[in-house]
Amino acid sequence: MTELTYRRRLLVLAICCLSLFVVGIDNTIVNIALPSLRRDLHASASGLQWTIDSYTVVLASLLLLGGSSGDRFGRRRVFCIGLALFTAGSLLCSLAPDLTWLIVFRMVQAVGGCMLNPVAMSIISNTFTDPQERARAIGVWGAVIGVSMALGPVIGGTLVESVGWRAIFWVNVPVGLVAIVLAGRCVPESRAARARAFDPLGQLLVIGTLAALTYGIIEAPSIGWVAPRTLGLITAALVAGAVLVGYESRQAEPLLDVRFFRSVPFAAATGIAVCAFGAVAGFQFLNTMYLQELRGYSPLVAGCLTLPMAVLTVVAAPVSGRLVAARGARIPLLLAGTAMTAGSVLLTDLGVDTPLVWLVPAYVLIGFGFGMVNAPITNTAVTGMPRAQAGVAAGIASTSRQIGQSLGVAVVGSLAAVQVAGRTGVVDPTSATGWWTIVSCGLGVLLLGAVSTGAWARGTAARVAEGLFTPRPVGEGVAAETPERESAARTRAAADR
């Protein structure tokens, strides 16, 4: 590899990380503006939740389609289209006249965002073919996810206080335009040698499952947890999820290959992503309301108070990437779960007079844990998978993150709203139930990290990697593998391992 080639690869990595940064920061920068949105747009608690979850639910629903579209139509082409839609959606959000239109435009953002994360991950996996070099690149990628989410409240607080909440969307426009130009000039075009078939029914089932579950949870405080509509929505989500698993397991080229989840490390990585991002999303939702609504701090002060969390995320993320490359995922995952659990426990007894010397250590621990968790999630999701399926594997990992964020805001926000008797339109940021839910997510990271990194777990991963390329029975819509396809697939898998 020549020096010029190496520089070109680094530039491609930087462009992909730039797109990830704006998408990641957009997930959290809105949180700091929630009190301003509530006042200016007269939003209820559920309205504030939908401001976050309208984006994350659409993003989670379409990420798998975005990854496979890049493999089929060309990764650079889909990547640039995603950047254009995300940039246009950001501009529209800044012009939204009311909460309803803001939620709609957030969905436009999400449609563009679904074409960025998994496609960029696929570009990185195909650009960095050396396993060690790829691991380092993935470590940088994972670090950017954590850094962007942690910096969101700080940047958002500065913009909301100095300009107004609309400015949090303006920042995406010039960055998006620069990224489009750079991607068109510097990112090489690539696609899978054999594109995966489109799976419309699987896609609809994914959307139905996530939308029904999130809607039911968010609206439950106002209509009742045992109301027919709430129970109907949650039941519909469970039925759609069960049908999705059964249907996808019979497809030759499913949108969601359920065989991946027979690998304990892969399945645990998705569970860890849900727990970790659910914990952080729930924390940021409650903490924003606590600092601004209960303590009376300005958006800038509230954002700056979370700076210790951002700093520790920035520090821990590259350390985690190096640990994963050198020692594997176990140590970073155990450290992440322990720190996130301990930090959340410190916040279970919040009050209006809780001293800052108690809050800051909690923020530090949560930031450190969140910084440690991203690299092992991403590395586990793509390690051992053939490069031809990199977009799908990365899409599943990214989807798990977004599902975690959606459920974190929905569940924690709804539980906190319930705590204020007779005032379901108000979030109680000191809700013990809400904070202990976040603690349970930290424990989930710890336990799943311990279970998924032993010899038994690695054995399941090896069997799944082998089984992905064995002939599947003909029938029920499943096409048999030809000897040529099976041989080529085994060759790719061996090269990836």
Contacts of 493 (CB under 8 A, 6+ apart): 384, 386, 465, 466, 468, 469
pLDDT for residue 487: 39
Instruction: Return d(Cα 370, Cα 41) in angstroms, integer.
Output: 32
Sort residue 328 into left (φ over 0), alpha (ψ -120 to 50) or beta: left
Integer Cα distance of 329 and 340 in angstroms: 16
- Copy the structure tokens of residue 374: 């991203």
Check pLDDT > 50 for residue 492.
no
Instruction: Judge residue 455's burial from the number of C-beta atoms within 10 Å of its C-beta, 0-12 exposed, 13-18 middle, 19 or more buried.
Output: exposed
**Range with the poorest average pLDDT among 96-105, 128-137, 383-392:** 383-392
Among the ranges given (124-133, 387-396, 446-455), the one the predictor scored with the smallest mean pLDDT: 387-396
User: With bands split at pLDDT 50, 70 and 90, how would you rate the model's confidence at 171?
Assistant: confident
Give Dmax over CA atoms of the chain in angstroms.
Answer: 69
Would you state the structure tokens that stand for residue 159, as one six-digit string? 């913009």
Q: Is the pLDDT of residue 476 over 60?
A: no
Low-confidence winner among 98-102, 140-144, 187-191, 430-434 (lowest mean pLDDT)? 140-144
Task: State mean pLDDT over 222-241.
Answer: 88
Quote the CA–CA distance of 286 and 10 in Å, as a whole number: 38
Architecture of domain 3-188+196-496: Up-down Bundle (1.20)
Quick: pLDDT tens for 40-62: 988 888 888 889 888 988 888 88
With CA atoms as reference, report the closest residue to 163 among 27, 306, 35, 299. 299
- The model's confidence at residue 475, banded by pLDDT at 50, 70 and 90, is very low
| Helix spans in 346-431 (H) | 356-382, 390-407, 413-418
> 19: closest CA among 102, 75, 57?
75
Share of the chain above pLDDT 90, in %: 27
| For range 228-257, the mean pLDDT | 88
pLDDT of residue 251: 81
Instruction: Return d(Cα 18, Cα 21) in angstroms, integer.
Output: 5
Cβ contacts of 44 within 8 Å, gap of 6 or more: 222, 425
Counting every residue written for the chain, the total comes to 497
- Between these two residues, 35 and 144, which has the higher pLDDT value? 35
How many angstroms separate the CA atoms of 99 and 48, rounded? 9
- Find out whether 116 and 20 touch, Cβ atoms under 8 Å: yes
User: Residue 481: pLDDT above 50?
Assistant: no
**Whether 155 contacts 29, CB under 8 Å:** yes
Residue 415 or residue 149, greater confidence: 415
Q: Which tokens hold the place of 185? A: 């000039």
Phi, psi of 197 (to 5 degrees): -70, 150
pLDDT in tens, 293-345: 899 999 888 888 888 888 888 888 888 888 887 888 889 999 999 999 999 99
Q: What is the DSSP letter of 349?
A: T
Higher pLDDT, 196 or 245: 245
SS3 (DSSP) at 328:
coil
Rounded to the nearest integer, the mean pLDDT of the chain is: 82
Please report the pLDDT score of residue 68 as a whole number.
77
Residue with tokens 């040698």: 193
